[in-house]
Amino acid sequence: MAELNTVARPYTKAAFEFALAEGTLDAWSDMLRLAATVAQDGHMAQVLGNPALTSKQKAQAMLGVCEDSLSEAGRNFITLLAENRRLALLPEILAQFEQLKANQQQSVDIDVTTAFELDEQQQQKLTQAIGAKLGREVKMTTQVDKSILGGVVIRSADLVIDGSVRARLAKLTEAMSS
């Protein structure tokens, strides 16, 4: 994982700097998301992993599937990745790009898991509280998982806040058995 991160970083940085200079961060985000999805498809993964195909053929396969969804610069980027045998890095490049974009835009994506559905007012209060704590605009997605019993679990990149009843019970059990 660390190796993928390291190898993908210069490609991500180049794409991000280009997109930032052109004012096309959202368009590049969409292009990279599409390309990463295509690269992860089972059939395309077989094509990209086929040693009998040339880099040019692999690039053409990717570009053929993505068709008109890529700008000229996006097509050049895919071609460059193919030439350097780095198409498999697209999911990692996307993840790094999204992180750079969020930092640039002073925003953070969080995933909130609760035992019960949150109403609109609860979502707004939680978004505001986390935004104030992190000093960023918060984009929240929610999901329900009844197994946490109550409370909330908040995830964002490398931050996890586990305020679930299940976690509290696990801590209590550990403390009692020590």
pLDDT value at position 71? 92
DSSP assignment of 22-55 = HT-HHHHHHHHHHHHHHHHSHHHHHHHT-TTS-H
> Which band of pLDDT confidence, cut at 50, 70 and 90, is reported for residue 168?
confident
Burial state string for 1-10 with b = 16 or more CB within 10 A and e = fewer than 16: eeeeeeebee
Is 80 exceeded by the pLDDT of residue 2? no
CATH numbers and ranges of domains, the chain: 2-102 (1.10.520.20), 106-177 (no CATH)
DSSP E strands: which ranges in 3-158?
107-114, 137-144, 152-156
Share of the chain above pLDDT 70, in %: 98
pLDDT value at position 156? 81
Distance of CA 54 to the CA centre of its chain: 29
Whether 157 and 99 have beta carbons less than 8 Å apart is answered as yes
109-134 confidence digits (pLDDT tens): 888 999 889 899 998 998 888 888 87
Average pLDDT over residues 77-84: 94
Question: Is the whole model's pTM more than 0.75, yes or no?
Answer: no
